Structure formats: structure tokens, C-alpha cells
Amino acid sequence: MTNTRKPSATDDATTTAAVPDTTTAETKTVIGPPLQHGQTPEEITFAHHLRIGGRDFRPGQKAHVSPDYARQLRGNGYIARGRA
């Protein structure tokens, strides 16, 4: 059986209008769990070797993670302390 429905002009208008403009927003690669709605990524520095999502991070390397994941890593001692 074949589909004989022809797309209307309103179908074309909705598909082109639904594409968001991402050229102005700076995108950062977030490792670990995804961000929740309204969260901004947090930059962390690793204190110990850690493997996240098949990627190795050595002490001193920096990465962007969600605030919830940063809190979890900080509690487990994987994030370096900030200098005063």
C-alpha cells in the first residue's frame, strides 16, 4: 500500500520554523549525565584519574559537567580544591 497524501504548504512552514538558531549560543560539551532544564554547565578540574563515558581524564584536566554531577564528584574526592 502506498501513501497518497501530499504535503501541504503549512507542513513546509512548520518544519522550517521549528529549527532553532544555535549559532549565537556557545555550546560546551558536557560529560556525564545531561543537564536538567535551566542548569548551566560547571567547569571542574580533576584531582584523580577518572574514566567517564569511555573517556579518560587525568589529574589537572578540566571538563564541563552538570552541577549535580559536580556535587557528586566533589563528595567522592575526584575534584581538585580551588586555590584561595
Give this prediction's pTM. 0.64
Question: What is the spatial distance between Cα 71 and Cα 75, in angstroms, rounded to a whole number?
Answer: 6
Q: What is the pLDDT of residue 39?
A: 92
Q: What is the pLDDT of residue 69?
A: 95
Per-residue confidence of the chain (84 residues) as pLDDT tens digits? Answer: 666 777 666 555 544 555 444 443 457 889 999 999 999 999 999 999 999 999 999 999 999 999 999 999 999 999 988 765
Question: What is the spatial distance between Cα 68 and Cα 39, in angstroms, rounded to a whole number?
Answer: 9
Take residue 18 and report the three cell numbers written for it.
521549528
Cβ atoms of 54 and 31 within 8 Å: the answer is no
